[in-house]
Structures are given as structure tokens and as C-alpha cells.
Structure 1
Amino acid sequence: MSENAKVDVSGYSFEKAVAELESIVARLERGDVALDDSIAIYERGEALKKHCEALLSAAESRIEKIRLDRAAKPQGTEPLDGQ
């Protein structure tokens, strides 16, 4: 595995992780990467994908919808999915 593939992505912002993931996809689609390097960057892409999914899941859990009373005045919040 290349040194680049070993770099921890846990501190990456969502935007940085997506940008690097897009770069990896473009390199793999071009097909000009050696097999060993392809495997290494694919593994890095998997790590980036999992990190993005975790960030999205955390963001979704923070989204709340506002509850309104009969007069349409805000009365508090509740989870977006109603749980």
C-alpha cells in the first residue's frame, strides 16, 4: 500500500474527503494506474467513502424540524425522522 493510502482521513472535512474521492475515481476511470497502485487508491477511496457516510449520518442526526402549535407558533423541535 502506498504511503498516501495509509494517511488517516478521520480529520478530513466532508468537502475535502469528497474532492479526494472524486480525484481517485477519475484516476481509476482513466485506467492509467498500475494494478498495485489501483488497489491502494481503491482502498483509500473506500476509507474516504466510509468517512463521508459517517459525516452525513452525523449531520442527519442533528437536523431537527420545528413543531408548531395550532396558531403556527414554534413550540420546540423534534428529530426530523420523528424518532
Structure 2
Amino acid sequence: MIPLVEFCVNNLTPEVLEVKNKLEQDPGIDVLEYGCLGNCGICAQGPYALVNGEVVAAGTGDDLYRKIKEAIDEMEVRY
């Protein structure tokens, strides 16, 4: 199962865009961008993405990247 990471266009600050670009370089990860993911409260607070439908939020772009990779690793262990 290929992990899916989804980003909200309204949350694509330069640091989140860097995370998105890094993830897009990995052929084992599907990355999508939407106009809105419907998580406006989380979106307004800081960097976040959905990993296979689960919210992953962080204080910085670097933390978001690390947490996304951890979520993907956990998913691979389960399956």
C-alpha cells in the first residue's frame, strides 16, 4: 500500500512547501494538494498534513516532515 500524504493549499507556507517537495521526490509516496481539507482550525494553528487520512500536525516544517515519515513507517509496520 503506497502512503498518501495530502496538503491544504492554504497551509502551504514556504516551510510546508519544502516538506511537500521533499516528499514528492520519493516514488514510494503519493502526494496530493487540495484547495481545502476541511481542517481549518488545525490549518490556522501551524503546519499539518493528512497521512492516509490521519492528521499529522507540528510546530515547524522540519518537525512535520519527521512526523510524516514516522507515520508512514508505523503504517508500513501495521501492513
Same fold (TM over 0.5): no
Larger Rg: 1
By relative contact order (CA 8 Å, sep 6+), the higher-ranking structure is 2
TM-score norm. by structure 1 comes to 0.31
Name the one with the larger strand percent.
Answer: 2
